[in-house]
């Protein structure tokens, strides 16, 4: 029997998860917690095999709780957030999985079973972002000014327009772009914007 603990600050979410798992013959929900701190206090007595952990909660966040609970159980983050920073923090804290709350029931059940075996379970979009973060570390030394220039490039502004809006010369704009190309490993404006978006530096 796989013992599962639910950690989420919304009672309706915990109730929904409990209902989803109730019909599985090999899964038992042994307890709930409404915050990271509450989970840390209750987990030793509950002795879960798998913890489904929300990421952002008042009274102790999911990452801090994961760091402690990963010694006792296999923690799977279940959240609505999938930013690069959130994913990396959770995995670094010891989570074996990272799923989104819109995950279909069947996939969630499979993930619980996989996590109980110590396997890694990642939502497809999360896996892609994690791979991108590892391959292309965030920032790569881009300065805030270089990011400002790339944001304006993404908006379709010419070098002259960027210069006017940032109150710098067109030559300085070109210098910032060339430095961005070098840091991102690209050769033109379009590739620079595409690369920056892929790495989570820009949002279109």
Residues 58, 46: Cα–Cα separation, whole Å: 22
- Average pLDDT (191-197) is 86
Give the tens place of pLDDT for each residue, 13-58: 999 999 999 999 999 999 999 999 999 999 999 999 999 999 999 8
Q: Which two tokens stand for residue 176?
A: 């910032």
Is the Cβ–Cβ distance between 55 and 85 less than 8 Å? Answer: no
Give the tens place of pLDDT for each residue, 49-92: 999 999 999 888 899 999 999 999 999 999 998 776 788 788 88
Q: What is the pLDDT of residue 131?
A: 66
> What's the Cα-to-Cα distance from 114 to each of 76, 111, 117, 119, rounded to whole Å?
10, 5, 5, 5
List the CATH code of the domain at 2-135. Answer: 3.40.50.2300
* C-alpha 191 chain-centroid distance: 25
Domain boundaries defined on the chain: 2-135, 144-198
Partners of 53 in the β-ladder: 7, 77
Q: What is the pLDDT of residue 61?
A: 87
Q: What share of the chain is helix, strand, coil (3-state, %, to 5)?
A: 55, 15, 30
Q: What is the pLDDT of residue 105?
A: 93
**Is 168's pLDDT higher than 80?**
yes
**Is 179's pLDDT higher than 80?**
yes
**Is 101's pLDDT higher than 60?**
yes
List the CATH code of the domain at 144-198. Answer: 1.10.10.10
* C-alpha 190 chain-centroid distance: 26
Residues 40, 49: Cα–Cα separation, whole Å: 14
Q: Which of 30-34, 109-113, 133-137, 194-198 has the lowest mean pLDDT?
A: 133-137
Q: What is the pLDDT of residue 201?
A: 80
Q: What is the pLDDT of residue 137?
A: 56
The SS3 call for residue 47 is coil
Q: Which of 159, 160, 140 is nearest to 202 (CA)?
A: 140
């Amino acid at each position: 029997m796989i013992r599962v603990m639910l950690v989420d600050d919304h009672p309706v979410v915990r109730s929904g998860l409990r209902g989803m798992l109730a019909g599985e013959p090999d899964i038992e929900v042994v307890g709930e917690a409404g915050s990271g701190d509450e989970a840390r206090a209750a987990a030793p007595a509950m002795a879960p095999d798998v913890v489904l952990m929300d990421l952002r909660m008042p009274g102790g966040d999911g990452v801090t709780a994961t760091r402690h609970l990963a010694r006792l159980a296999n923690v799977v983050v279940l959240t609505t957030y999938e930013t690069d920073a959130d994913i990396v923090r959770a995995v670094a804290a010891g989570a074996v999985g990272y799923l989104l709350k819109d995950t279909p029931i069947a996939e969630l059940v499979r993930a619980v079973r996989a996590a109980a075996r110590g396997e890694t379970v990642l939502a497809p979009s999360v896996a892609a972002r994690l791979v991108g973060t590892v391959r292309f570390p965030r920032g790569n030394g881009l300065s805030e000014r270089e990011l400002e220039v790339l944001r304006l490039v993404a908006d379709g502004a010419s070098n002259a327009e960027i210069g006017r809006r940032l109150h710098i010369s067109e030559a300085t704009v070109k210098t910032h772009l060339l430095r961005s190309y070098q840091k991102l490993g690209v050769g033109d404006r379009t590739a620079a914007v595409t690369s920056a978006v892929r790495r989570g530096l820009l949002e279109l």
